[in-house]
């Protein structure tokens, strides 16, 4: 199981998301999203890495991607963004049966739920909570059909602790999490993860294979 230490940066307490993106783009300490879990059916491995840090009240995640095709059909939150060029953050608090999935296409459109599995007890976050998830996408926020070539893009997101039920005044020691890159309906579907997933068919909804994030 992989682990990642989340560093606190005081400047993020006053930073707008675009400023945070600029800061984070200059930092090192990236983790690679490079586990090709189903190589026979889905061998593609786009270059993808992330860093996760925190302010006193939120996680900030900076994704860096290079891929040969890029697609962003969906522009409304809770649309099926996993079908586009997509990066994802799933996490689970200690002692919880449920977990959160935050999925973002390359223009920052977000799907977010709390659930117990891929198919059980699925609770989409309401609009007022979705509005608290800040995003800054290097490709802008206008939808587009798939393009082919050689594309570098970044996405920075801010996820408040309050959405996860984390008390910022009494932080947990750690949570379980995994990070993903996918694109189900792109011309080259792929399913790549930070922590490997040892099941027969593509399935990111597996908290039993989450890594550990130390706060």
3-214 topology per CATH = Immunoglobulin-like (2.60.40)
Q: How many Cβ atoms sit within 10 Å of the Cβ of residue 144? A: 15
pLDDT of residue 28: 84
pLDDT of residue 209: 98
Q: How many Cβ atoms sit within 10 Å of the Cβ of residue 64? A: 20
Taking alpha carbons only, the member of 83, 125, 79 closest to residue 101 is 125
| Spatial distance between the Cα atoms of 76 and 40, rounded to a whole number of angstroms | 33
CB contact at 8 A, 157 and 60:
yes
- Looking at every residue in the chain, the average pLDDT score rounds to 97
CA dihedral 113, 117, 119, 121 (to 10 degrees): -60
pLDDT of residue 201: 94
Q: How sure is the predictor about 197, in pLDDT bands with cuts at 50, 70 and 90?
A: very high
Beta strands in the chain (DSSP E): 3-5, 7-8, 31-32, 35-36, 47-54, 58-72, 86-92, 99-105, 110-115, 123-124, 134-137, 144-160, 174-182, 191-193, 211-214
**Chain segment 87-141, per-residue pLDDT in tens:** 999 999 999 999 999 999 999 999 999 999 999 899 999 999 999 999 999 999 9
Dihedrals phi, psi of 62, to nearest 5 degrees: -115, 115
* pTM attached to this predicted model: 0.97
First CA to last CA distance, the chain: 17
pLDDT (mean) for 47-73: 98
Q: What is the DSSP track for 35-77?
A: EES-TTT-----EEEEEEEE-SSEEEEEEEEEEEEEEE---ST
Please check the confidence at residue 214 and state whether its pLDDT lies above 90. Answer: yes
pLDDT (mean) for 4-9: 97
Question: What are the structural domain ranges in the chain?
Answer: 3-214
Which position has the token pair 């586990």?
35
pLDDT (mean) for 176-187: 98
């Amino acid at each position: 199981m992989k682990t990642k230490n989340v560093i606190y940066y005081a400047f993020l307490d006053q930073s707008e998301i675009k400023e945070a993106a600029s800061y984070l783009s200059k930092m090192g300490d990236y983790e690679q999203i490079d586990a090709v879990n189903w190589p026979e059916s889905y061998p593609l491995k786009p270059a993808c890495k992330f860093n996760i840090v925190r302010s006193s009240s939120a996680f900030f995640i900076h994704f860096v991607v290079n891929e040969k095709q890029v697609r962003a059909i969906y522009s409304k939150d809770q649309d099926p963004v996993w079908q586009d060029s997509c990066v994802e953050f799933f996490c689970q608090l200690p002692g919880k049966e449920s977990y959160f999935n935050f999925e973002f296409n390359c223009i920052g459109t977000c799907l977010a739920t709390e659930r117990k599995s891929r198919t059980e007890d699925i609770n989409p976050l309401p609009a007022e909570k979705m509005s608290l998830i800040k995003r800054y996408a290097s490709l802008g926020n206008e939808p587009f059909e798939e393009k082919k070539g050689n594309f570098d893009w970044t996405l920075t997101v801010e996820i408040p602790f309050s959405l996860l039920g984390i008390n910022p005044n009494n932080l947990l020691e750690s949570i379980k999490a995994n990070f993903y890159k996918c694109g189900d309906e792109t011309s080259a579907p792929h399913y790549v993860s930070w922590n490997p997933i040892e099941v027969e068919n593509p399935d990111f909804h597996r908290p039993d294979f989450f890594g550990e994030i130390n706060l």
